[in-house]
């Protein structure tokens, strides 16, 4: 696995895991710390076609500004989870399954699913769909129309989780071709038939970015001011299903 950070962020090895930390700062710069197993690979060579991920985790605050989490995805934006540090790839539609923390500035849903807070979330999308052409043409004129078209192409599912993320919990994500399940402390929290298309890569991260595509068609993205924040993980285990 590869550890990557922006300047002054850090990833430190602990006795049983890792501490991912981003420094305090204003809204003028992107800050992230990320561990993944796909760095430098073309998407078609991402390592996982199914996976069970388990770990213990906690974060520094109940309301981190930006995003954080752990799971699998296809790196659809062609960069890191945010704005830095990876080989260029052309953007594509999202395929992901993860535990996802999103501050109130975020709105990562193309439908009516939960899009803020601490989520169990998955996306499934084809590599290409004919509707993408009119969606792209409509974007300069009607973001609401584009969002509605994308919602017909991108299958998604999500559930807001009532978990005190600042305390230690054991998380388990089981991704198989027909379903995804999310467990916290050995309790089933959510199950979905929206299983992302492989291959995908493992990602564990914390950053200060936000991105939103709201039901009203408002598109916004950027970075947020924040204090020093961290994500600590222990007992990381991966099992190919």
What is the rounded average pLDDT of the residues 110-122? 93
Neighbours of 156 (CB within 10 A): 23
Report the C-alpha gap between 217 and 44 in whole angstroms. 32
Question: pLDDT band at residue 109, thresholds of 50, 70 and 90?
Answer: confident
Domains of the chain plus CATH, in order, are: 2-239 (2.60.120)
Are 14 and 56 contacting, i.e. CB atoms less than 8 angstroms apart?
no
Q: How far is CA 144 from CA 32, 92, 138, in A?
A: 30, 20, 9
Q: Residue 89's CB: how many other CB atoms inside 10 A?
A: 15
What's the pTM value of the predicted model, to 2 decimals? 0.89
Residues 6+ away with beta carbon under 8 Å from 93 = 76, 125, 126, 127, 128, 129, 132, 153, 154
Q: Are 22 and 46 in contact (CB under 8 A)?
A: no
- Report the distance separating Cα 177 and Cα 190, nearest Å: 16
How far from the centroid of its chain's Cα atoms is residue 67's Cα?
8
- CB count, 10 Å around CB of 235? 11
Q: How many CA atoms lie within 13 A of 240 on its CB side?
A: 7
What pLDDT does 137 receive?
37
Measure CA 225 to chain center.
20
Look at residue 241 in the predicted model and tell me its pLDDT: 74
**Comparison of pLDDT for 141 and 173, the residue scoring more:** 173
Positive or negative: CA dihedral 18, 159, 170, 1: negative
3-state secondary structure of 55: strand
* Residue 93's pLDDT band (cuts 50, 70, 90): confident
Q: Backbone phi, then psi, for 136, in 5-degree steps?
A: -65, -40
Tens of pLDDT, residue by residue over 9-65, are 999 999 999 999 999 999 999 999 999 999 989 999 999 999 999 999 999 999 999
């Amino acid at each position: 696995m590869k550890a990557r950070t922006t300047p002054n962020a850090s990833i430190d090895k602990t006795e049983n895991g890792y501490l991912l930390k981003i420094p305090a700062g204003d809204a003028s710069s992107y800050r992230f710390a990320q561990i993944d197993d796909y760095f430098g690979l073309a998407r078609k060579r991402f390592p996982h076609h199914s996976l069970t991920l388990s770990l213990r985790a906690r974060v520094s605050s109940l309301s981190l500004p930006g995003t954080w989490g752990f799971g699998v995805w296809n790196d659809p934006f062609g960069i890191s989870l945010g704005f830095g540090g990876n080989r260029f790839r052309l953007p594509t539609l999202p395929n992901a399954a993860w535990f996802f923390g999103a501050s109130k500035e975020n709105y990562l849903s193309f439908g009516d699913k939960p899009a803020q807070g601490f989520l169990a979330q998955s996306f499934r999308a084809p590599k290409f769909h004919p509707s993408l052409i009119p969606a792209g043409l409509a974007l300069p004129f009607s973001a609401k129309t584009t969002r509605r078209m994308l919602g017909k192409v991108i299958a998604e599912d999500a559930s807001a989780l009532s978990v005190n993320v600042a305390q230690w919990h054991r998380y388990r994500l089981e991704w198989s071709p027909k379903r995804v399940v999310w467990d916290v402390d050995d309790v089933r929290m959510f199950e979905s038939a929206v299983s992302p298309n492989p291959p995908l890569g493992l990602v564990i991260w914390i950053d200060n970015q936000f991105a939103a595509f709201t039901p009203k068609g408002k598109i916004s993205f950027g970075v947020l001011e924040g204090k020093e924040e961290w994500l600590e993980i222990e007992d990381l285990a991966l099992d190919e299903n």
